[in-house]
Amino acid sequence: MTNSIREIEGMEVIFVIGSNTKETHPVIANRMLKALRKGTRLIVADPRKVPLVRFSEIFLRLKPGTDVALLNGMAHIILKEGLHNDEFINERTEGFEEWKKSIDPFTPQNASKITGIPAENIIKAAKLYGGSRKAGIFYTMGVTQHTHGTDNVNAIANLALLTGNIGREHTGINPLRGQNNVQGACDAGCLPNVYPGYQRVDMPMVKKKFEDTWGVQLSGKEGLKSTEMVESAFKGKLKALYILGENPMLTDPNIEHTRKALDKLEFMVVQDIFLTETAALADVVLPAACFAEKNGTFINTERKVHLVRKAVEPPGDAKEDSWIIAELSGRIGYPMKYSSSEEISEELGSVWPALSGISYSRISAGGIHWPCPTKDHPGTEYLYKAGFPRGKVSFTPVKYVPPAEVTDNDYPFILTTGRNLFQYHGGSMTRRVAPIEKHAGEPYVEINTEDAKKAGIKDGEKIKASSRRGQIEIKARVTDRVSSGVLFIPMHYSEAAANAITTDALDPHAKTPEFKVCAVKIEKIH
Amino acid sequence: MIRLTIDNKAIEVAEGTTVLDAAKMLNIEIPTLCHHPKLTPFGGCRLCIVEVKGVPRPLTSCTTPVSEGMEVATSTPALEDLRKTLLELILSDHPNDCMICEKAGDCTLQELAYFYGIRENRFEGERRIYEKKDGNPFIERDMGKCILCGRCVKVCDEIQGVGAIDFAYRGFKSKICPTFEKDLDCEFCGQCVAVCPTGALTGKMWQLRGRQKDINAIDTTCSYCGTGCNITLHVRNNKVVRVTSKENTWNEGWLCVKGRFGYSFINSPDRLKKPLIRIAPKESIKGSKGQSLKNSDTLTLGRSDTCDFSAIFREASWDEALDYIAAKLKEIKERSGADSIAGLSSARCTTEENYLFQKFIRAAVGTNNVDHCARL
């Protein structure tokens, strides 16, 4: 997030696109409701009538995968209505004129035709967002999990640049992080192209700095992204994989393919708190401590570093991940010696100035937002106050490209996947919580009332859902949450895993799978 | 700014401030039951009554805005007498069972009865009887203990935007219930449990797991989504038995169903307790009844009660497991190069562990093949 969660309260307009905030980030949704009570106006764009829609002034029900057309369509109207921010565009951006030309084809009529949203609603939303100078955009995987996810994000950035809705209090671009410490994992350098603090591995100066700090020769070659690791294993190039607390056998697309790929590995180690679907395929399984059993920090979606404190001892011989990693490292000839997690945190702060000013004692009563370069720096609630790090930022022309797999006569429905309120991601934790399991323990597919009627499917009836990659049997939940032609399956349930049928088509830049669109068919079970 | 005096102490506050909030600024304590600082004032319990010079009858301080020159008295014999009577009336229809109540020691009503020395009750009489047990799996609704303060109704509407419950009926028959008195079926955020001043609303999961005095409370950060809510783990005998969140933290004490109720996985019997080394080929995963498990049978897989994995893995010591991994990694690196090895880190682990993991992959193994689930 470029803003902090606190700033939500001061926004004039909130534009939520591809985020089921009320179910997946409920406490952030609470903050939005608080703002709405003070007069903030809400736009929600989503293929499903998600719970937040009830609070919105404008609901843009777009066809899955048509985000670029909607966002460019809004930009078209903002330009036509003269709502753009000339001062901001001149001072802080470049490439405006060229980008402007790329927007020409996205008339409200064209945008409406592609997205299925009535043109007047796109116009209303554009005027509302474009007419405000204190507007925040919020998005999650509904924007990124597409073969054109990077394009979607660029189209969002263009909209913010066009209106100057970034770099000030109460306005910005806010991707909501889906896991407790995705931000921290990225910041700490668990990415194949950058060292900690987003410092590129292929820049000799940076590499030298880390070689000096770590006292060893490093590789300057960019590594494999997670989805590429699976492909590389499938091709037999990748021989060994060490997995820490992840369950690709449920959360990666096209499970059957993932399984074949992991089976081809010569050696796989899984370190987890449960014997997950992935751990069951491992050569060695290591028992780890969970969040309540260790000290450290989580960095949340607003870049705020929070303390994690040990409350109980891990069960049996289970050990903290840091102990396991350090032990293993010593045994392959690179000893690591740390006396506490804070010492590790200090080392991270020494290689990345954004965290240099943060110490455990400073955050013991409440978190601090990075960048926080010095011990007396208060932290940074919103980014780009003093301008963008590389001076001017560019508008990026974005074309509308349909999803990798479109519907046809054989597979006439669009399947989109995600989370529900009660379960969490791969479910290894929440599915072991009895009341949650009792209340929301059964997989289901959301199907539109009209579609169900046409197919003769009743609410609660078990049906077959299949794609070109696999099939599952699953209970139908007949609802108008999804529009006609669209199905939704929550990802949590391994016994009817949505990812048995999703596509492994990837965004060419981010290598994020297109979980939000694939073509499926449904059949009654006789 | 408005100037007034409370108990002869002068104070200047912003227009629109309530007398209750102004008194708080002066550290003057006024008893309340229905008032909650994060909810709109209600004036239902009448305990916060004060005397204002020139006004013939007491006013509820939580709903009365300050005015210029106001002279307020918060504690007079007449007021205390009224308060005691009010409490007696509330308690006359309240089960006198603090000794078995989950909330004992942490209950506003119990606290007030203690301060006002109420043991016997002048108003013994008819009691409301609630036979219906709410069948929802999360929230115990013991309506016999409800004092109709309305905090739960307000929090559900004003904070959560759900409106799952409301007042129904009138007078002595008044009660708070879901639509048509059905079982509660809502988002189960438990905000209502957090604001309930009595034992009417508690978590079913923490029944008989120990009361407040036995508990060691540890502040930490929620491990579910990326919001990073403050949570307090209540620990008894090395077990997390309850989760709450403090009101004065950035998430204002609000949590969701996962944060508040989704903690029992910590003590799950399925937790891995020993390093495991594979002894059987990957295809031969069997259920406890010896049946072959399909890949999709994962609910059974990894569940200690239904799946016996002793035929697939054997337990090992840390030394054996780690030496084995180190030997394999060294051998593969020598044979196929460092780039034939990769590490997938976890967004569920701490920042420090993630830092160590990428350092391990980069510095110890020698490749940049490290990523995590940000894309999934």
Interface pTM, i.e. ipTM: 0.96
Start-end ranges of CATH 3.10.20.740 in chain B?
2-75
Residues A98-118 have a mean pLDDT of 98
CATH number for the segment(s) B91-206: 3.30.70.20
User: Chain B partners of A300 at a C-beta cutoff of 8 Å?
Assistant: 221, 226-228
Question: Residue B281: pLDDT above 80?
Answer: no
Residue A179 to residue B321, Cβ atoms within 8 A: no
Chain A residues 467-496 with CB within 8 Å of chain B? 472, 494-496
Question: Residue B344: pLDDT above 80?
Answer: yes
Helix (H, G, I), strand (E, B) or coil at A98: helix
Question: Residue B302: pLDDT above 70?
Answer: no
- A183-194 pLDDT per residue, tens: 999 999 999 999
CA distance A374 to chain B (A): 19
Question: Residue B296: pLDDT above 50?
Answer: no
Beta strands at A240-244 and B341-344: parallel, antiparallel or unpaired: parallel
Residue B250 to residue A275, Cβ atoms within 8 A: no
Under a CB-based contact definition with an 8 Å cutoff, are residues B68 and B2 in contact?
A: yes
State the pLDDT confidence band at B214, using cuts at 50, 70 and 90.
confident
State the pLDDT confidence band at A35, using cuts at 50, 70 and 90.
very high
- A148-163 pLDDT per residue, tens: 999 999 999 999 999 9
Q: Which of A432, A506, A509 to mutate to test the interface with B (most CBs of B within 10 A)?
A: A432
Higher-scoring residue by pLDDT: B373, B301: B373
CB-nearest partner of A190 from B218, B336, B345? B345
Question: Residue B294: pLDDT above 80?
Answer: no
CA distance A484 to chain B (A): 26
Residue-wise over B183-215: b if at least 16 C-beta within 10 A, else e?
A: ebebbbbbbbbbbbbbbbbbbbbbeebbeeeeb
Question: Residue B282: pLDDT above 80?
Answer: no
User: Chain A partners of B223 at a C-beta cutoff of 8 Å?
Assistant: 180, 290-292, 298, 308, 429
DSSP string, B225-288: STT--EEEEEEETTEEEEEE--TTSTTTT---HHHHHTTGGGG-TTS--S-EEE-S-TT--B-T
Higher-scoring residue by pLDDT: A508, B288: A508
User: Chain B partners of A29 at a C-beta cutoff of 8 Å?
Assistant: 161
Helix axes of B108-115 and B77-91: crossing angle, nearest 10 degrees: 130
Start-end ranges of CATH 3.30.70.20 in chain B?
91-206
The confidence score (pLDDT) of residue B309 equals 77
Question: Residue B299: pLDDT above 70?
Answer: no
Higher-scoring residue by pLDDT: B283, B157: B157
List phi, psi (to 5°) of B347. Answer: -70, 0
User: Chain A partners of B271 at a C-beta cutoff of 8 Å?
Assistant: 273-274, 287, 290, 315-316, 318
Proportion of chain B above pLDDT 90, given as a percent: 82
Question: Residue A416: pLDDT above 90?
Answer: yes
The confidence score (pLDDT) of residue A118 equals 98
Under a CB-based contact definition with an 8 Å cutoff, are residues B74 and B6 in contact?
A: yes
User: Chain B partners of A237 at a C-beta cutoff of 8 Å?
Assistant: 340
Residues A439-453 have a mean pLDDT of 97
Residues A472-482 have a mean pLDDT of 97
- B143-190 pLDDT per residue, tens: 999 999 999 999 999 999 999 999 999 999 999 999 999 999 999 999
CB-nearest partner of A259 from B223, B295, B344? B295
CATH number for the segment(s) B2-75: 3.10.20.740
CB-nearest partner of A239 from B225, B330, B336? B336
Residues A42-55 have a mean pLDDT of 98
Q: Which of B159, B220, B234, B351 to mutate to test the interface with A (most CBs of A within 10 A)?
A: B351
Reduced 3-state DSSP string for A254-303: CHHHHHHHHHHCCEEEEEECCCCCCHHHCCEEEEECCHHHCCEEEECCCC
Question: Residue B125: pLDDT above 90?
Answer: no
CB of A66 within 8 Å of any CB in chain B?
no
Residues A223-247 have a mean pLDDT of 96
- Structural domains of chain A in order of their starting residue, each with its CATH number: 6-176 (3.40.228.10), 182-369 (3.40.50.740), 413-524 (2.40.40.20)
Query: How far is the CA of A397 from the CAs of A98, A400, B71, in angstroms?
Result: 8, 10, 66
Higher-scoring residue by pLDDT: B31, B280: B31
CATH classification of B212-267 is 1.10.600.10, yes or no?
Answer: no
Contacts of A380 (CB under 8 A, 6+ apart): A303, A369, A370, A371, A372
User: Chain A partners of B163 at a C-beta cutoff of 8 Å?
Assistant: none
CB of A92 within 8 Å of any CB in chain B?
no
Residue A435 to residue B137, Cβ atoms within 8 A: yes
Question: Residue B307: pLDDT above 80?
Answer: no
Residue B348 to residue A307, Cβ atoms within 8 A: no
Instruction: Reply yes or no: is the peptide bond before residue A371 cis, omega within 30 of 0.
Output: yes
Two tokens, residue B249: 């933290």
Question: Mean pLDDT over all residues of chain B?
Answer: 92
User: Chain A partners of B308 at a C-beta cutoff of 8 Å?
Assistant: none
Residue among A77, A434, A348, A285 nearest B278 (CA): A285
CA distance B259 to chain A (A): 10
Euclidean distance between CA atoms B47 and B80, whole angstroms:
9
User: Chain A partners of B336 at a C-beta cutoff of 8 Å?
Assistant: 239
Question: Mean pLDDT over all residues of chain A?
Answer: 96
Under a CB-based contact definition with an 8 Å cutoff, are residues A400 and A110 in contact?
A: no
Chain A residues 195-234 with CB within 8 Å of chain B? 195-196, 201, 210, 214, 216-219, 221-227, 229, 232
- A62-104 pLDDT per residue, tens: 999 999 999 999 999 999 999 999 999 999 999 999 999 999 9
State the pLDDT confidence band at B298, using cuts at 50, 70 and 90.
very low
Residue of chain A nearest B297, judged by CA positions: A495
State the pLDDT confidence band at B305, using cuts at 50, 70 and 90.
low
The confidence score (pLDDT) of residue A169 equals 97
Question: Residue A49: pLDDT above 50?
Answer: yes
- Comparing A338-342, A414-418, B121-125, the range with the smallest average pLDDT is B121-125
Q: Which helix (H) or strand (E) holds B139?
A: strand B139-141
Residue B373 to residue A226, Cβ atoms within 8 A: yes
Helix (H, G, I), strand (E, B) or coil at A505: coil
Burial grade of B236 (CB within 10 A; 0-12, 13-18, 19 or more): middle
Euclidean distance between CA atoms A277 and B300, whole angstroms:
10
CB of A511 within 8 Å of any CB in chain B?
yes
Start-end ranges of CATH 2.20.25.90 in chain B?
212-267
- B349-376 pLDDT per residue, tens: 999 999 999 999 999 999 999 999 878 7
User: Chain A partners of B252 at a C-beta cutoff of 8 Å?
Assistant: 30
The confidence score (pLDDT) of residue B274 equals 96
Residues B14-26 have a mean pLDDT of 97
Reduced 3-state DSSP string for A309-373: CCCCCCCCCCECHHHHHHHHHHHCCCCCCCCCHHHHHHHHHHHCHHHCCCCCCCCCCCCEECCCC
- B49-70 pLDDT per residue, tens: 999 999 999 999 999 999 999 9
User: Chain B partners of A304 at a C-beta cutoff of 8 Å?
Assistant: 228, 250
Proportion of chain A above pLDDT 90, given as a percent: 98
CA distance A271 to chain B (A): 9
Q: Which helix (H) or strand (E) holds A488?
A: strand A486-490
Residue of chain B nearest A438, judged by CA positions: B137
Residues A237-265 have a mean pLDDT of 94
Residue of chain B nearest A268, judged by CA positions: B325
